[in-house]
Amino acid sequence: MGHTANVRYVAVRRFFFVGSTGYLGNQTAHWTIFTTIFATIFLLFNTSMYYSVFFSKTCLPKRLTTLLLLAATSTAIGQDLRYSQFYLHPVLLTPAATGVFQGTIRVAGQHRSQWEKVPVDYETSTGSVEWKAVVRKNNALSVGLVLQNDRAGDAGLSWMQAGAVVGVAHALNNNHSVSLGFGMAFVQRSFNVTRLTFKNQWGGDAYDPSLATGETFNRSSQLAPSLSTGGQWHYQRKQTRTQVDVGVGVSHINKPFVNFSPTSYVLQSRSSAFAHVYAQVRENTDLVFFAEGQEMAHAGEMVFGTGIRQIISTGVANESYLQVTFGHRVGDALIPAIQFERNNWTLGLSYDWNISTFETASRGRGGIEIATVWRKVPVPPFQSKICPLF
């Protein structure tokens, strides 16, 4: 079969069977622990220390490929993209997060590069834009667009998802707000068969790409619709920076079919939940807590962490924050992160230090992640971003 074919087999097999830090890992989601985290956060913060910030408008043998694709549909297709700085892009976890921010427009982007040359790298990018279209008294309607893309492996197996989201929010009082969201997207998976090698292309002495592969595929690209929904709760107290966001979401609720071979495969539903907390402890200091969990078929993950946010400067058009956090993806990675916020801009940087069983090959190398968020706030931020929701 030859050295080239063996190397390509190992490379593709690791992508399909081991998973990557850009996908939901093949570990069981510990929902009992995660539920305990949510319950703890609720008990700690279910007091009068909240205020409403929600909607301010003013502030490679024969059949090898077939076997690999079968593995892909049961494992890789059973996984979605993920990010360590999920709290900067919550609309990826639930469409109910659409419009849940200070301002009228939010544009966010994230890029993740992981496991470079182990033996292939993984590049994941996501972008979104949200707009508060209608705000009437205690109600708001927001719409948005989301684009996700990932490419990895010798065959350039790619995942692309593009769609629209809608969020409807209602302020229960000055402290509480709840929202519901819905999304519809088109999911595309594709690969480049010309970048793979097969047993039939071994000429006896050397690999000959001109030889027929002996493989038959219905197609090398598949497009399917996907539906999502979710809910979110926001709680914040006036004249403080303490706030809590808790959200849940379900993606691919229609379980779309993805078909590369003569057999169709179902893209399983993905359940997500997250919590993000800022607790003001001093005039210029906040504690940060976050937790997130996802489950999709037999794949899952749980992330939790904490940190500190410090106000560097204040004043009209001169407000700056520095946030440093440390997180842990259970059984997979340690995640140091830093975010810098200046007026309407936020820039985040994180790194996943791999501690899973794949550390032998990765040598601890995980993934570097960059996130950028911009918000349009009609009135320049001031007073440590204490703004009314509606």
119 upstream amide cis, omega within 30 of 0: yes
**pLDDT digits 0-9 by tens, 42-52:** 444 444 333 33
Q: What is the pLDDT of residues 299-346, one digit of tens each?
A: 889 999 999 999 999 887 788 999 999 999 998 899 999 999 999 999
d(CA 372, CA 107): 8
User: Token pair 């030859």 is at which residue?
Assistant: 2
* Phi (first) and psi of residue 38, to 5 degrees: -65, -40
Q: Could you read off the pLDDT of 57-104 as tens digits, one per residue?
A: 333 343 444 433 334 333 334 456 779 999 999 999 999 999 999 899
Task: At 234, list the tokens.
Answer: 């926001």
Judge whether 267 and 255 are in contact, CB under 8 Å. yes
Note the CATH architecture for domain 3-385: Beta Barrel (2.40)
User: Residue 350 in contact with residue 86, Cβ under 8 Å?
Assistant: no
Residue 65 DSSP label: H
Angle, CA 274 vertex, CA 38 and CA 126 arms, to 5° = 170
| Cβ atoms 374, 101 nearer than 8 A | no
Element (H, E) at 195: none
Residue type, 40: T
Inter-residue contact 272 to 232 (CB < 8 Å):
no
Does the model's pTM come out above 0.85? no
